[in-house]
Amino acid sequence: MKIACVQMDISLGNVEVNFHNARDGLRRAAEQGADTVLLPEMWNSGFLPPGGLGGLTDWDGRRVEETLGALCAEYQVNLVAGSVTNVRRGKTYNTCLVFDRQGRRVAEYDKMHLFLPGGEGNYFTAGDHVGSFTLDGVSCGVVVCYDLRFPEQPRELAMKGAQILFIPAEWPASRYLHWQVLTRARAIVNQIFVVGCNCVGLLGGGHSLAWKPSGEPLGEAGDGEEILMVDCDLTLTGRVWDERNAPRAARPEMYRGY
């Protein structure tokens, strides 16, 4: 599966500019031959604009579906649509929407672990389920930014059979080492592909990246706007699981009581 990370500069609080840039990135990635496109975290509004979220939120992901979902059908490409500020049933979530090649919404995931030091918990409701889905017959999972620091969640997805873990993020340059080490660790420990898409500019340090199930690098972007394209050879997950098989050897009943 060819996966394109659209590493974009998010304009804080400027929804129209951000939708334009997301549409343009999706088109360019599809034209470069991507099977699946990944966007960064909270690309519609940016992380907590000074004036608050106000009218910056989507409503049940409708605008994302109407605009980017339609482009998926036009270009016959899958989309893990990063995450957006999203209102559903009177609560605000940090939501990742997933679309298949026909533009159908096949999954949605609300970020489970909110970044409390940054005040995210004051604005958002935490999700209550893991993000698992299937694209082109491939079992996949998604976690959003701060979720990466909690190893139980990617392990749960791996136990469910995920072969690829997608990570949309707004990860600061000052914590680049953590970004690199944690994403690589999730690949090695769970023996799956890990693909992380970060933003650049004011809100993120770039360096979108991807790892093989062995922990070997697949690719890494720089610190400016670009599209990182990586090719995940899914036969590798089967070979790694046959050789080492850590997910199936795990005994979750022994360490889920804390």
> Which amino acids are annotated catalytic?
41, 111, 145
Closest C-alpha to 6, from 204, 212, 149, 146? 204
| Strand partners of residue 195 | 166, 210
Of the CA atoms within 13 Å of residue 220, those in its CB half-sphere come to: 13
Let me know: does 110 contact 93? Beta carbons within 8 Å.
yes
Query: With the CA atoms of 99, 31, 200 and 107 taken in that order, what torsion angle do they form, in degrees rounded to the nearest 10?
Result: 10
Identify the three-state secondary structure at position 249: helix
Q: How far apart are CA 109 and CA 120, in angstroms?
A: 16
Hunting for tokens 């680049």 — which residue is that?
176
The side-by-side arrangement of strands in the sheet containing 131-135 is: 131-135, 138-142, 164-168, 193-197, 209-211, 217-220
Local structure of residue 40 (DSSP, 8 states): -
